[in-house]
Amino acid sequence: MAASTTHPDPESGSVPSQGTTTTDSLPPAQPAPFSDDNAAVLPSWKRTVILLVVCWMTLPVTFMSTSIMTVNPEIAATFSVPATAISTANAGVLVASASSALLWLPITTIIGRRAAYLVAVAVFILCSLGCALSDSMASFTTLWVLSGTTGPFFLVAGQTILSDIFDPAVRGTAVGFFLGSTVSAQSITPMISSIIGTFTSWRIIFGVQGAMALIGGVLAFFFIPKRSQLSNVTVETRKAKNARNILKAFNPSNIFRLYKFPGILLADLTCGFLAFNQYSLLASVRHIINPLFHLTSPMSSGLFYLAPGVGFLAGSVVAGHLSDRTVQRYKRHRHGLRLAEDRLNSSLPWFFVVLPLGTLLYGWSVDREVGGMGLPISASFIQGFGLMAAFNGLNTYAAEVHPEFKAAAISGKYLTQYCFGAVGVGGAVPLIDAVGVGWAFTITALSSLLGGCMVLFIARCLVRESAALPRPKFFDKGEAGLPQ
């Protein structure tokens, strides 16, 4: 008899023992109907508290990469290095964030999700305090990069927790609030750090993020449940107990093997293009806005981040609600059948209209110096709104496309996303210096449009492979749709 192949289950916090035949194999390549329609049975108040806890933890981890964007010169002066060295170190933090899944997903597999969550909080707190007390650029960069490995884990764990406790009919709204807290923090934290940098030392920034993480860790200890405690969520309770199974848990193929599916690969690349757009905007503000409008203090440029930040939050919440309505509409027309690709249809207007409009308006209004400060501010709001509205469906899709592998799928998404984000942080300013602000953001807009084409392909072409399922009438005008 052929030997059975086993794979660690990235969701359950367990690794199958040797010689055990499991069903934890890759699902069919075609999109398929769902197996996660039943959310865990929890009181509404507890769901709300858990949502608030996972949203809170996005605030300190966002501080990690965006809070120093307005105080780069001050940090560089402290360590007597060029300001570009801080930007390069920040790009290194995002690269570390991209590799987060390769470290924390196996740890989750070995010790369980809740325990891994609390350990990651402790590591983040210690690294934050270390950065605040660093006396050399080397130690500062090392601890900063190490803290970067924990950030995306809180996003992955947060999304998987929400997918366990919220019904699919309202899951998009919950994920919208979660992502809204994440991305709004990416603009609020530069403003807070700019105020800190103006009136006191930049080191306080890392102390603040450490204190916020401590609060989040205490809340997580009391409210984040073990997955085995959730009703209607089937888990395998065995843990890895020998060196061979532990090594298997650290096999990166647990993540990369999912890239064989076109839907996951194209969705992850699209998230990467969106991250490039996002970090190109955030990383370039002080470089282009301060000289243009003669702003001299960190606080002045920090206030500019409010416009995209409000757009981020509004886009996440609005798009989350609309994506849920889209899912419900398709589900009614399919007589109760739900497909992951249906949600992506709600993202298409944001990809092809709102996001490129905001990106091009922002780039060329700054390049041509037209519209005063009002036009770039308005354009950055539109860009931020379109960006997060486009992101919303993709983030929920990552958790739904193969529910039994959602942690690995979400981890792979963030791996790709942060790699592109690192390119945005490290490459935005050199690209602007080389070709100008207008053309740099034109390139950014074109990359987002390419991502939109990929989403269109997933939503309209890959879904057709789903067991020859009929499409509803509104899918294409003039089609017969489902029989009446």
Say how many Å lie between the first and final Cα of the chain, rounded. 51
Furthest-apart CA atoms within the chain: distance in Å: 75
Measured distance CA(334)–CA(481) in Å, rounded: 9
Tell me: the pLDDT tens digits for 318-356? 887 888 888 888 888 777 777 878 888 888 999 999 999
Measured distance CA(93)–CA(401) in Å, rounded: 29
- CA neighbor of 23 nearest in space, from 7, 2, 1, 3: 7
Handedness of CA 167, 170, 174, 179 (dihedral sign): positive
Burial group, residue 310, by CB count within 10 angstroms (0-12, 13-18, 19+): middle
Collapsing DSSP states into helix, strand and coil, what is residue 30?
coil
- CA neighbor of 256 nearest in space, from 248, 247, 265, 245: 265
pLDDT score, position 155: 83
Type of residue found at 41: V
Higher per-residue pLDDT: 272 or 284: 272
Tell me: the pLDDT tens digits for 397-456? 887 777 777 778 888 888 888 889 888 877 888 899 899 999 999 999 999 999 999 999
Identify the residue whose tokens are 């270390």.
130
- Residues 206 and 128: beta-carbon distance below 8 Å: yes
Higher per-residue pLDDT: 101 or 17: 101
Q: Partners of 9 in the beta sheet?
A: 14
Type of residue found at 476: D
pTM exceeds cut of 0.75? no
